[in-house]
Amino acid sequence: MGDMGIVVIVGGHGKIARLAGPMLRAAGHTPIGLVRNPVQAADLVSARIVPQVLDLERAGAAQFARMLRDRQATAVVFAAGSGAEASEYRQDRVDRAGAVLSAEAAQLAGVRRLVQISTLGADSVADGATPDYPPEFVSYLRAKWAAEQDLRARDLDWTILRPAALTDGPATGRVILADRVANHPVPRADVAAVLVRLLGDPASFGGVLELCADDEDGDGGPDGG
């Protein structure tokens, strides 16, 4: 992606997305954020993100791809999420199917760059394993793992980013980005900054990167959101 990319953020009203908006602008990109509720458009404008209405659960891949072409998108970021209280049904619809749809649409539109926000622990359900977590967290991990598996199989310049449990604290700039990290909760603002950096980094193509705070004392658990 060049310096002046047009970055379509799926889950445009999400907390990470809105933190990333000004950072993307500062890096010379134009962020476009997808929302399913037009009322959220004003919040996006405040975050310097161009709003675009598109409901992941209603749009087909062709419609999504047409929008990407019309907007001349150069990258897609999957930052949507079903939320902490979601049913297994919605986890499947948003966390898995929404991510799959985004990748499918990117491919159809010829947009090669895609960064998918997954979660730490997604691979703990690999090969049908059932880790010792609450059932609603296991089903969330299964949806995220399925989305990762779908993306890995695609001919795209993808990167999978697996943050630890998210917090709303200020950015610290002190993070660990590596193949394996501990679950030290990480501020969304730090995730947004890493996301923006990864977008333009070809070394991260085809990579699965875990992210946590560089915090020896942190030991918080994932919140399932």
Ligand X SMILES: NC(=O)c1ccc[n+]([C@@H]2O[C@H](COP(=O)([O-])OP(=O)(O)OC[C@H]3O[C@@H](n4cnc5c(N)ncnc54)[C@H](OP(=O)(O)O)[C@@H]3O)[C@@H](O)[C@H]2O)c1
Torsion of CA 180, 20, 82, 176, to 10 degrees: 10
Is 225 a binding residue for ligand X by CB under 6 A? The answer is yes
CB of 222 to ligand X, least distance (A): 6
Is 86 a binding residue for ligand X by CB under 6 A? The answer is no
**Using the rule CB under 6 A, which residue among 81, 111, 156, 160 binds ligand X?**
81
Q: What would the 3-class secondary structure string for the chain be?
A: CCCCCEEEEECCCCHHHHHHHHHHHHCCCEEEEEECCHHHHHHHHHCCCEEEECCCCCCCHHHHHHHHHHCCCCEEEECCCCCCCCCHHHHHHHHHHHHHHHHHHHHHHCCCEEEEECCCCHHHHHHHCCCCCCHHHHHHHHHHHHHHHHHHCCCCEEEEEEECCEECCCCCCCEEEECCCCCCCEEHHHHHHHHHHHHCCHHHCCEEEEEEECCCCCCCCCCCC
147 closest CA partner among 83, 79, 59, 58: 79
- Mask of contacts with ligand X, 61-80, x by CB under 6 A? ------------------xx
CB of 3 to ligand X, least distance (A): 25
**Using the rule CB under 6 A, which residue among 22, 27, 66, 83 binds ligand X?**
83
CB of 216 to ligand X, least distance (A): 20
**Using the rule CB under 6 A, which residue among 55, 126, 131, 152 binds ligand X?**
55
Is 219 a binding residue for ligand X by CB under 6 A? The answer is no
CB of 18 to ligand X, least distance (A): 8
- Mask of contacts with ligand X, 1-20, x by CB under 6 A? ----------x-xxxx----
Of the pair 49, 165, the CB lying nearest ligand X is at: 165
CB of 134 to ligand X, least distance (A): 14
Binding to ligand X, residues 121-180 (CB under 6 A): 163, 165-166
Q: Which residues bind ligand X (CB under 6 A)?
A: 11, 13-16, 34, 36-37, 55-57, 79-81, 83, 94, 117, 119, 163, 165-166, 188, 222-223, 225
